[in-house]
Amino acid sequence: MSMSGTIIAAHGRHYLADVEGTKYQCVTRGKKTNVAVGDVVHLKQTSNDQAVIEDIADRTTLIYRSDQYKSKLLAANISRLFIVVATEPSFADDLVSRALVAAEAAGIEAHLILNKTDVKEPLPRARERAAVYGSLGYPVHEVSAKADPEHALSVLQPLLAGQHSIFIGQSGMGKSSLINLLVPDADIAVREISSALDTGKHTTTFTRLYWLPGGAAIIDSPGFQEFGLYHLTEGMLERAFVEFKPYLGGCKYYNCRHLAEPQCAVLEAVKDGKIAKMRHELYAQLLHESSQTLY
């Protein structure tokens, strides 16, 4: 029997698909593992709770990270990406900027959530750091999942309604607290998924999708410290830094890489303080990484 479902969890080459509330353990045909959480797939049922993925429906968006050797699909068909940062522990600008670049390159709207705003002492500094991204046009939403859950819900629920969202954040930022607030039975769902995927009792290292009322969805990706973007080409990179856009095409050389070329409009903007030095340094680093690929 063939049917259509959504991939709600992935662990290695094992997938879990949701077909109108019924869950199926899935594998792909052959060695292909290009399936992502959020993918709509066509399945062929092979037993009571098992199926084979026959093919993947066209995706609206796909976000992934990659190192020198391989890429890791994070999620498909998402419309919003939320990066969770906190007042403490300190968050990594590198990870935030990389996630924003990935979202920009994939055509996904990105937001920041500043969590733990009840921790007063580091709040001004965290706000100042988050404002760098706010000034680029990325909305920053302040919440405190533990101290004021009602306020956090009132801020986030309207942003999630009607969207397929992914939450990204380093460990320690309170991403799990936010997910548990937004998805009250998240813990039970994780246990169910763990046993269905047979990934061992306590693993939370798999990406998973939770349905929200009204057909919206949240995808939770495991906390990671690294976000490689080796797959982005030079052209994609310069366009993925939103603040470069006004200056592109203004350089003396049409193939300018905005690194050390004379009369480069982007470098002039960095010198004039119109582009943050930290962001330009990351651009240079990503350009270097993209030239290292072994694909």
Q: Is 3 annotated as a binding residue?
A: no
Q: Is 118 annotated as a binding residue?
A: yes
Q: Is 251 annotated as a binding residue?
A: yes
Burial level of 9, CB count in 10 A (0-12/13-18/19+)? buried
Contacts (Cβ under 8 Å, ≥6 apart) of 142: 114, 117, 127, 155
Q: Is 176 annotated as a binding residue?
A: yes
Q: Is 48 annotated as a binding residue?
A: no
Q: Is 256 annotated as a binding residue?
A: yes
Q: Is 26 annotated as a binding residue?
A: no
Q: Is 258 annotated as a binding residue?
A: yes
Q: Is 175 annotated as a binding residue?
A: yes
Q: Is 172 annotated as a binding residue?
A: yes
How far is it, in rounded angstroms, from Cα 5 to Cα 9?
12
Q: Is 177 annotated as a binding residue?
A: yes
Q: Is 71 annotated as a binding residue?
A: no
Which residue numbers belong to the known binding site for Zn(2+)? 251, 256, 258, 264
Which residue numbers belong to the known binding site? 115-118, 169-177, 251, 256, 258, 264
Which residue numbers belong to the known binding site for GTP? 115-118, 169-177
